[in-house]
Amino acid sequence: MTIVLNGESRETRAATLADLLHEAGFGPRVATARNGSFVPAGQRMATALQDGDRIEVVAPMQGG
């Protein structure tokens, strides 16, 4: 299926948001949204992806 991840079209075999994060190399400490709605970390395994979904992933910045 084709989804949009952080503004870029991407082919994926991931069935859930958690699978997609793993496939894309993101760690657990990120914020996620599907089609503009926030998805809490505890709901990522239960959040099924559909063709055309728009996923946003934001990782915290570390400063010094």
Which CATH number characterizes residue 20's domain?
Answer: 3.10.20.30
How many domains is the chain built from? Answer: 1
Could you identify the residue written with the tokens 């914020």? 31
Q: Is residue 35 part of a domain?
A: yes
Task: Convert the pLDDT of each residue in 11-62 to its tens digit.
Answer: 999 999 999 999 999 988 999 999 999 999 999 999 999 999 999 999 887 6
Q: How far is CA 37 from CA 15, 62, 64, in A?
A: 18, 25, 31
pLDDT of residue 28: 84
Q: Is residue 12 part of a domain?
A: yes
pLDDT of residue 63: 66
pLDDT of residue 64: 61
Closest CA to 57 of 9, 17, 12, 13: 17
Question: Residue 13 sits in which domain range?
Answer: 2-58
